[in-house]
Amino acid sequence: MLLTYAQITISVLLIVSILLQQKGSAGLSSTFGGSSMEYSTKRGAEKVLFYATIVLAVLFLAISITRLLL
């Protein structure tokens, strides 16, 4: 039961973290005059959000496999 609630919570957080990330030049910064470079380094909050998305995806996968095995 605890794994079910954890999986639901992590899935919602994962969806939010994916939706908050910018996608190419169609991101929010380009709307307000940001550059449309194809390659740029991640800095600050964008970098934290990127790593948080990876951690959440790994946790979601681990919980899913654990629930499958139990």
Residue 54 CA to residue 19 CA, distance in Å, equals: 14
Q: In the block, which residue shows the tokens 């991101």?
A: 27
One DSSP character per residue, 1-62 reads: -HHHHHHHHHHHHHHHHHHHS--GGGSHHHHTT----S-----THHHHHHHHHHHHHHHHHH
pLDDT at 43 (0 to 100): 83
68, pLDDT greater than 80: yes
Give the model confidence (pLDDT) of 13-64 as tens digits.
999 999 998 765 455 555 555 555 556 677 888 899 999 999 999 999 999 9
